[in-house]
Amino acid sequence: MVLMGAVGFLLLIVCANMANLLLARLSSRRREMAVPGALGASRWEVAKPIVAESLLLSLAGGVFGLLAAFGGLRLLSSLPEGQLPRMDGLSLDGGVLLFTTVISIGVALAFGLLPALHASRQDLRDNMQESSGTTGSPYARGLLSGLVVIEVALALVLLVGAGPMTRSFSKLLLVSPGFDSTNLIAARVLLPSTKYQRATQVRFYEDVIERMRRAPGVVNASAVSAMPLHDVGAAGALPFNVEGQQPPATEDPLADVRIVAPGYFEPMKIKLLEGRFLDERDAEVGPRTSAIDETMARRYFPDRSPLGLIIQNPHGKSQVVGVVGDVHNQGLDRDPKKQVYLPTKQSPTAGMAVVARTNQDPMTVANTIQRVIWDVDPGQPIYELSTMDQILARAVFLPRLSTTLLALFALAALLLAALGIYGVLSYSVSQRTRGIGLRMALGASGGNTVALVVKSSVMLVAIGGVVGLVAATLLARSMQGILYGVGPFDIPSFALAATTLMMTGVAASVLPALRTTRVDPMIALREQCVRPGSRPRLRARSV
């Protein structure tokens, strides 16, 4: 929804620029448009050519946009597999194309009507006698300035939104997942229940892990029922209780359960905080054991060690023999959940991911994993083979994509707002040539004239900035759910966005302002004295 809002704001900025363009173009067609009105044409007949021009612009832009979308989609689809996930089968959607086409044409017509109705309402006598242009009136200049204020306000909203998103993503990348993803690869296997029973399931994974540990390039190997950051939701939360301890009255104790093969924590490099890891001692025959994570220990055993306590859940009773570090299993932007680890010999499962740590590029041993699994069972399929770096990249894919798109939208809005400011000031300078020449003829310096133009630009940017800050404040709460470690009312982002926009507005006004210093006072005064339509006698008297 935030990205859709950003697209809508960007579209409105484009429309405001188009309205400014059409208003400026009408300055050279004032007398041309006055002729049909003088001959009895209605306001709609006068405005119709302008609306048609607006529609033509929108259709031409839509065609180029469609070509850009098609080309961009082809480019994304050509990226290596895994670099940009979820791209399989992605195509241009007919419903989306129809929606965007209708919206684009609708707003183009709406913003095209604005200058068209303005042009058709002018006084016929003034239109026929003056050549100063439709947009030379105070009303038109105010309309142009108002559109620029809208552009600046919308651009500031996008800049303010991009700031917290960028800071949020940078903080997200600094979050430790709780394991070391370097040189780690995983292969997902699901054993058919018709072929493998509980005992044979355990033997299959024991054989695969033992063969993997002896394979060249492999440092260590093990298996887990649900990979962190990947099989989200596979380790379902189950109720549990601690023997001899009353559960908290305010909640039902729940904890995710993961089944791990012996030695799982070592290749993952998950920290041991207390007790020991689950290993070969946790056999099918003997006391049932388990390990819990730091979050669970801190939540339910804040004043004592959980080692030796008996936990009971739907898998049965087990004694806690170790406390390990937290792992962000559900996502880097989510707090670690309470976690219970059970040994696979005591709680077998058909589906597990075989993980291996290598001393080289993990993809170089991908064929080794496949060969080992097929050596144990030639007919067993492998459902997925990924490095942990790829899984980690997929886990931050949506935040990265959202941040990148919003930053691009904000940059495009900033450039469009700068173009709008430049266009309005350029038109204003062209309309005020006589006044500027008169000021310079009376002794005004070029610096004073430049400062006058820049001052008008700063006023427009300041007004738009105030409006944009108010709008950004009202809309900031909508971003609360997609930010990590940053509040929606991020003061540095607000300040940086306002400063960037102000500097951009000043930079966009420099070129039109410098153009005023090249105005020849004599030419400007001659234009002031010799008006189109005046008689030669008055022209000579004025000279």
Rounded Cα–Cα distance for residues 293 and 85 (Å): 30
Band (pLDDT 50/70/90 cuts) for residue 293 is very high
pLDDT over threshold 80, residue 211? yes
pLDDT digits (tens, 9 = 90+) for 371-385: 999 999 998 988 888
Rounded Cα–Cα distance for residues 111 and 118 (Å): 11
Q: What is the average per-residue pLDDT within 461-485? A: 83
Rounded Cα–Cα distance for residues 277 and 264 (Å): 9
Please tell me the predicted confidence (pLDDT) of residue 518: 65
Band (pLDDT 50/70/90 cuts) for residue 520 is low
Q: Which tokens is 526 given?
A: 């001659």
**Of 45-59, 220-234, 239-253, which range is least confident?**
239-253
Separate counts of helices (H) and strands (E) for the chain: 17, 12
Please tell me the predicted confidence (pLDDT) of residue 353: 92
Residue closest to 508 by CA, chosen among 446, 421, 411, 426: 421
Rounded Cα–Cα distance for residues 66 and 72 (Å): 10
Model confidence pTM above 0.75: no
pLDDT over threshold 60, residue 131? no
CB 382 within 8 A of CB 186: no
Helix or strand or coil: residue 185? Answer: strand
pLDDT over threshold 50, residue 238? yes
Q: Which tokens is 53 given?
A: 């021009």
CB 378 within 8 A of CB 289: no
Task: Provide, rounded to the nearest whole percent, the portion of the chain with pLDDT above 70.
Answer: 78
Would you state the torsion angle of the CA atoms of residues 191, 194, 198, 199, taken in this order, to the nearest 10 degrees?
-90
Backbone angles phi, psi at 240, to 5 degrees: -150, 165
Please tell me the predicted confidence (pLDDT) of residue 123: 52
pLDDT over threshold 60, residue 132? no
Q: What is the DSSP string of 498-543?
A: HHHHHHHHHHHHHHHHHHGGG--HHHHHHHHHS-TT--HHHHHHH-
